[in-house]
Amino acid sequence: MASTVWKGYVSFGLISVPIRLFVAAREEHVSFNQIHKECGTRVKQQLYCPTDQRVVERSELAKGYQVDKDTYVLVTEEELKTLEAESSESMEIQQFVQLDDVDPVYYQTSYYTVPEDPGRKAYALILQGMEQLKLGAIAKITLHQREQIVMIRPYHNGLVLHTLFYPAEVRELAEYGQDHDLKLQKAEIDLAEQFMKQLTAKFDPDQFKDEYQTRVEELIEQKEAGMVQKSEKPKKHLAPVINLMDALRKSMEQQEEAAGKKEPQRETVAAKSTGRKKKAV
């Protein structure tokens, strides 16, 4: 059973809805331990002080912020605790915004909100209103001893909450967004748009798999079974783009060929399936 990350009330004017937060998405990957190759033992990390030339215990450590080369300001745990936001069990909706107003670059972590039994009707009221108006709600919450700005939005018959990066946390890059006002020919733009339309489809996340994760898991299974086979890293050769028009036309031709090969396969499978059903009858 999923563990509750936060429990409290989301307030909408004089309406308070008791809810719980659960993590909606988390990165999954194979984790490895550091092993001594000679004996196969997991190694332990030691903390070494180059000044005293000895291994130090964790109880001897302090937090330090570097202000200059080899110069640090030491801060104690007690000092940091006095700066933490007060633990709050309430989350007040401060404003409603158009969903498109919040750029996805600000999205941080996603959580499912689940109402407690006494608040289901009020929860449904807020959900339905936001769905009809296509709005998101901006609120503040204290999560993990830190005050967070969040956006709540309708998602699959419920409300999902996204913690948001503060503006100072969204980095700027001087090179980004440059040289995009080059003079393009209308024919190039039209052909590019035509190819984009050809590739347009409804987003289905289930069709995308973490192929690297799968290969790592297969490697581990093979090694555990003592049947490791040498595998080569898959390579995709990309030809340099010389002429945009030629490259786009070639891309469209390849896409059409790939689509043409898939269609007969689906028809054949359907025909075979129908044949099996007739025999069964």
- What CATH number corresponds to the domain at position 106? 2.40.290.10
Q: Using DSSP bridges, classify how beta strands 90-98 and 6-12 pair: parallel, antiparallel or unpaired.
A: parallel
- CA Rg, the chain, in Å? 28
CA angle 59, 63, 68 (to 5 degrees): 135
DSSP state of 237: -
- Say if residue 159 is in the same domain as residue 264: no
Residue 154: its H or E element: strand 146-154
> Half-sphere exposure of 91 toward its Cβ, with a 13 Å CA cutoff?
26
Query: What's residue 263's pLDDT?
Result: 57
DSSP state of 117: G
Is the Cβ–Cβ distance between 18 and 118 less than 8 Å? yes
Query: What's residue 232's pLDDT?
Result: 65
Whole-Å CA distances, 200 to 89, 197, 248: 44, 5, 15
Cα–Cα dist 273/267, whole Å: 10
- Say if residue 157 is in the same domain as residue 247: no
Query: What's residue 268's pLDDT?
Result: 42
The mean pLDDT values, 10 residues at a time, for the chain of 281 residues are 89 92 89 92 94 94 94 92 80 94 95 96 96 96 89 97 96 82 83 88 85 85 76 63 72 78 51 43 34
* 250 in any annotated domain: yes
- Say if residue 18 is in the same domain as residue 157: yes
Instruction: Examine the fold and report which residue of 153, 169, 185 is the final residue of a domain before the chain moves on.
Output: 169
Instruction: Examine the fold and report which residue of 169, 193, 212 is the final residue of a domain before the chain moves on.
Output: 169
* 151 in any annotated domain: yes
Q: What is the pTM of this model?
A: 0.70
Instruction: Name residue 195's amino acid.
Output: F
Query: What's residue 276's pLDDT?
Result: 45
Structurally, the chain folds into a number of domains equal to: 2
